[in-house]
Chain A
Amino acid sequence: MSHIKIELRKEDVDFIKGVCATFNNDPQELINVLHSCQEHFGYLPAEVQEVVSDGLNMPVAKIYGVVTFYSFFTMTPKGKHPISICLGTACYVRGAEKVLEEFKKELGIQVGESTKDNKFSLSSLRCVGACGLAPVVLVGDKTYGRVAPDDVKNILKEYE
């Protein structure tokens, strides 16, 4: 898998090392450390994982294994307005996939990617507990219910 090459600044490295220290540099706290790092950086690029590896004294391969196992963790930066489309059973049977296709078409990106200007990113999830509103779309913290493919353009317009 290719990944985005970034160069960490000294304060970034210090931040990650600080997070590791908060958790006593204990490898068992890996998930908590990754949570804090993702909260800070918005994602977990390879370089961040390498510093975590150093801080917790554990192989970076193991860290990458954890990052790729949990769908919560991401190695690509989220857009300014992250869009999530629910593909849970209720949303799916009410046409969520068509809505997703429309978003892909409008934005020109696939699930898990961000637009070039980093304004939008696209992801899918399973059930937000609002099945009565199916199909459901989240943009940032805002929820849109009963979304039809025709609504997609208007939703995106709100964020221009």
Chain B
Amino acid sequence: METIKLTIDNKEIDVPKGTTIYKAAKELGIDIPTLCYMELHDMGIENKPAGCRICVAEVSGRRTLAPTCSTKCEPGMVVKTHTPRVLNARRTVMEFILSDHPKDCLVCSKSGTCELQDMAHRLGIRDIPGAEYAAVSTYRMDTSPSIIRNLDKCIMCRRCEMMCNEVQTVGAISAVNRGFMATVAPAFEQNLEHSTCTYCGQCVSVCPTGALTEVNHVPQVLRALVDPTKTVVVQTAPAVRAALGEEFGLAPGTLVTGKMTAALRALGFDYVFDTDFAADLTIMEEGTELLDRLSRHLKGDTTAKIPILTSCCPGWVNFFEEYFPDLKDVPSSAKSPQQMFGAIAKSYFADKIGINRKDMVVVSIMPCLAKKYECQRDEFSVDGNPDVDFSISTRELASFIKQANIDIKNLHDEEFDNPLGESTGAGVIFGTTGGVIEAACRTAYELYTGKKLERIEFTELRGMGGVRSATIDFDGLPLNIGIAHGLGNARKLLDEVRSGKSQFHAIEVMACPGGCIGGGGQPLHHGNSEIIKARAAALYTEDRKKPLRKSHENPFIIKLYDEFLDKPGSEKAHHLLHTHYFDKKKKIMIKK
């Protein structure tokens, strides 16, 4: 490969042609500050609008300072990243950004994790000249079921726009207007709720400031916990245990399952259950549906829709309802684990402990913001009483634990309650890309072939590639599996399904890069994809430690079918555990 020799801060380096100064400097251990640039290279995600102008440097032979994030290295280039001229320019740019930014850091929900705040500290900004004269431009606040847009705090880094358009291909938001009115907004500056937003929350997870945050449901949960008439049940999604520790200074990938359980009990939840149980249940229903459709398909039944698509991810459900409503019969009708849990908790479990569903509050801890919207969908409630009352994110739980003076790092590990707390390793890996379909294969293989699965780990389904495929041998039947994470990747597979070219029997889709471990409600990764990989590794570790690793072996799942549901796909199971989808494509009005 052709390389280029250049000098940065008196250090020489050879880099491949096309490398930016920013990246070359990084190789040399020079960390040039930036507010807009972001890269998650394993996922092919890069944002470099050269908008913030913080990353500027002096480049030989160039009159003006160069934005290093988007200036390519040239042979013999001499770059200086911290001359007085550069530092002065950087400071001036920062002062301009801050002059049009609210100064309410003390009470901002992003305080402590805000990149703008960190940058002001890093650059040693101690006052903002002219701040007392300049009015901060204001923009109306927009609250949707999942996400709050407070655009007074937007610094136009446009990371959210890149995530929404290029990575997710949702196109709900774009840069609009000019000058002080410039901001990122949905078409016609409507509220997010009226846009094509899927609530995947990836915009929130890359926002450097408090411009995009989640709707906070902790106060409602607290009210339920202190209400003596309510029995409060909590469920925790698989990806939460692999990331919650980061909020308390633990290394990414530290599993805190037992400590999290202890903390939830200390918070006052009456029953601490696990969404992983419902993940096992999902496998029973979805796996049965897969085998049913597959056997009908193999017999030549053209009404059997193949491939079957997973339906655990609410961001993904919102996406196909908006963009592929013609394919709404293709995904599995199985509800997501969150909603299956709610439906079982407020029927089977409420009966067991002898209370009315109205006196039970189900709270879910999710790595996800779309879950907030999902639990509010009309079809997931009975007579106005939702199956899941509140969904809070990993970040909200961390904040709640801190407010309650719980020193989570020093808690002794505790176990989940039963019957809805027992899970297998298959339920655990639901939180990472490839995990749902691996869990499904473990069960479907044994149900289909009637033989014991010797090799439990389908490593060919794992990894971080955006679109992956593998063929699994079902005792002579080659089963073609497709996997996509990130909605842009899902769109590619969906386009194939629509055109009839898809070769897959089953496809797993997760809306967020990396799967739920990279969800919009997780601790912020600040552009470090190693964090996401560490979380995935943690889930695979927990899977290996489980005595049972196939969903159909979960004794409490077996009991649930014996006592209550009869068998997977039964009428009762259909009523409680399955759903249907809607055509939500925005229509153009035409006058006749």
Q: Tell whether A and B belong to one assembly.
A: yes
Complex Cα distance, B591 from A9, in Å, reads: 5
- The contact sample of 9 A-B pairs, CB cut-off 8 A, is A1-B189, A13-B590, A61-B195, A64-B187, A65-B174, A65-B175, A68-B178, A69-B175, A69-B176
Known contacts: A68-B178, A69-B177. The answer to whether A61 contacts B588 by CB under 8 A is: no
Known contacts: A1-B188, A59-B196. The answer to whether A64 contacts B174 by CB under 8 A is: yes
A1-37 near B? 1/0 per residue, CB < 8 Å: 1010001111001000000000000000000000000
Contacts of A10 in B (CB 8 A): 590-592
User: Closest Cβ of chain A: how far from B551's Cβ, in Å?
Assistant: 39
User: Closest Cβ of chain A: how far from B592's Cβ, in Å?
Assistant: 7
B173 lies within 8 A of A51 (CB): no
Contacts of B176 in A (CB 8 A): 61, 64-65, 68-69
A53-87 near B? 1/0 per residue, CB < 8 Å: 01000111111110011000000000000000000
User: Closest Cβ of chain B: how far from A41's Cβ, in Å?
Assistant: 14
B177 lies within 8 A of A68 (CB): yes
Check B185 for interface membership: any CB of A closer than 8 A. yes
User: Closest Cβ of chain B: how far from A102's Cβ, in Å?
Assistant: 26
Check A97 for interface membership: any CB of B closer than 8 A. no
Given contacts A49-B188, A59-B165, A59-B174, 19 further A-B contacts (CB under 8 A): A8-B590, A9-B591, A13-B590, A46-B188, A47-B588, A47-B589, A49-B187, A51-B588, A58-B171, A60-B171, A61-B171, A61-B174, A61-B176, A62-B165, A62-B171, A64-B187, A64-B189, A69-B176, A69-B177
Complex Cα distance, B173 from A3, in Å, reads: 18
Check A50 for interface membership: any CB of B closer than 8 A. yes
* CB closest residue in chain B, given A1: B189
Contacts of B189 in A (CB 8 A): 1, 64
Complex Cα distance, B187 from A3, in Å, reads: 11
Check B519 for interface membership: any CB of A closer than 8 A. no
Known contacts: A59-B171, A59-B196. The answer to whether A64 contacts B590 by CB under 8 A is: no
* CB closest residue in chain A, given B195: A61
- Range of interface residues on chain A? 20 to 34
B172 lies within 8 A of A3 (CB): no
* CB closest residue in chain A, given B197: A61
Check B252 for interface membership: any CB of A closer than 8 A. no
* CB closest residue in chain B, given A3: B188
Complex Cα distance, B588 from A8, in Å, reads: 9
Contacts of A68 in B (CB 8 A): 176-178
Complex Cα distance, B592 from A10, in Å, reads: 7
B174 lies within 8 A of A62 (CB): yes
Tally of contacts, chain A with chain B, CB under 8 A: 67
A61 lies within 8 A of B187 (CB): yes
A7 lies within 8 A of B165 (CB): no
Q: List the 9 shortest-distance A-B pairs measured between CB atoms, nearest first.
A: A59-B171, A61-B174, A65-B174, A7-B591, A60-B187, A61-B187, A64-B187, A1-B189, A62-B174
Complex Cα distance, B195 from A105, in Å, reads: 38
A7 lies within 8 A of B590 (CB): yes
**B:176-215 near A, CB below 8 Å:** 176-178, 185-189, 195-196
Contacts of A61 in B (CB 8 A): 171-174, 176, 185-187, 195-196
Complex Cα distance, B197 from A59, in Å, reads: 11
Contacts of B171 in A (CB 8 A): 58-62
A13 lies within 8 A of B187 (CB): no
Complex Cα distance, B189 from A68, in Å, reads: 11
| Contact among A8, A51, A54, A63 with B187 in the assembled complex (CB-CB below 8 Å) | A63
B591 lies within 8 A of A8 (CB): yes
Complex Cα distance, B592 from A64, in Å, reads: 26
* CB closest residue in chain A, given B171: A59
Known contacts: A7-B590, A9-B590. The answer to whether A46 contacts B178 by CB under 8 A is: no
User: Closest Cβ of chain A: how far from B243's Cβ, in Å?
Assistant: 30
Contacts of B172 in A (CB 8 A): 59, 61
User: Closest Cβ of chain A: how far from B220's Cβ, in Å?
Assistant: 31
User: Closest Cβ of chain A: how far from B169's Cβ, in Å?
Assistant: 9
* CB closest residue in chain A, given B172: A61
Complex Cα distance, B174 from A9, in Å, reads: 28
B196 lies within 8 A of A7 (CB): no
Complex Cα distance, B588 from A10, in Å, reads: 11
Contacts of B188 in A (CB 8 A): 1, 3, 46, 49, 60, 64
User: Closest Cβ of chain A: how far from B144's Cβ, in Å?
Assistant: 15
Complex Cα distance, B299 from A47, in Å, reads: 48
Contacts of B186 in A (CB 8 A): 61
Which one of A1, A46, A59, A62 has the highest number of Cβ atoms from chain B below 10 Å of its Cβ? A59
Contacts of B178 in A (CB 8 A): 68-69
User: Closest Cβ of chain B: how far from A18's Cβ, in Å?
Assistant: 15
User: Closest Cβ of chain B: how far from A110's Cβ, in Å?
Assistant: 15
**A:88-106 near B, CB below 8 Å:** none
* CB closest residue in chain A, given B181: A68
User: Closest Cβ of chain A: how far from B141's Cβ, in Å?
Assistant: 15
* CB closest residue in chain B, given A63: B187
B589 lies within 8 A of A7 (CB): yes
Contacts of A46 in B (CB 8 A): 187-188
User: Closest Cβ of chain A: how far from B403's Cβ, in Å?
Assistant: 37
* CB closest residue in chain B, given A50: B588
Contacts of B185 in A (CB 8 A): 61
B559-576 near A? 1/0 per residue, CB < 8 Å: 000000000000000000
* CB closest residue in chain A, given B186: A61
User: Closest Cβ of chain A: how far from B164's Cβ, in Å?
Assistant: 8
Complex Cα distance, B186 from A64, in Å, reads: 8
Which one of B170, B174, B188, B589 has the highest number of Cβ atoms from chain A below 10 Å of its Cβ? B188
User: Closest Cβ of chain B: how far from A77's Cβ, in Å?
Assistant: 16
User: Closest Cβ of chain B: how far from A4's Cβ, in Å?
Assistant: 11
Contacts of B165 in A (CB 8 A): 59, 62
**B:144-177 near A, CB below 8 Å:** 165, 170-177
Contacts of A60 in B (CB 8 A): 171, 187-188
User: Closest Cβ of chain A: how far from B160's Cβ, in Å?
Assistant: 12
Which one of A49, A51, A58, A64 has the highest number of Cβ atoms from chain B below 10 Å of its Cβ? A64
A103-145 near B? 1/0 per residue, CB < 8 Å: 0000000000000000000000000000000000000000000
A13 lies within 8 A of B588 (CB): yes
Contacts of A49 in B (CB 8 A): 187-188
User: Closest Cβ of chain A: how far from B531's Cβ, in Å?
Assistant: 30
Complex Cα distance, B590 from A8, in Å, reads: 5
Complex Cα distance, B178 from A64, in Å, reads: 12
Complex Cα distance, B95 from A149, in Å, reads: 41
* CB closest residue in chain B, given A9: B591
Contacts of A59 in B (CB 8 A): 165, 170-172, 174, 187, 196
Contacts of A13 in B (CB 8 A): 588, 590
Complex Cα distance, B443 from A149, in Å, reads: 83
* CB closest residue in chain A, given B170: A59
User: Closest Cβ of chain B: how far from A66's Cβ, in Å?
Assistant: 9
Contacts of A69 in B (CB 8 A): 175-178
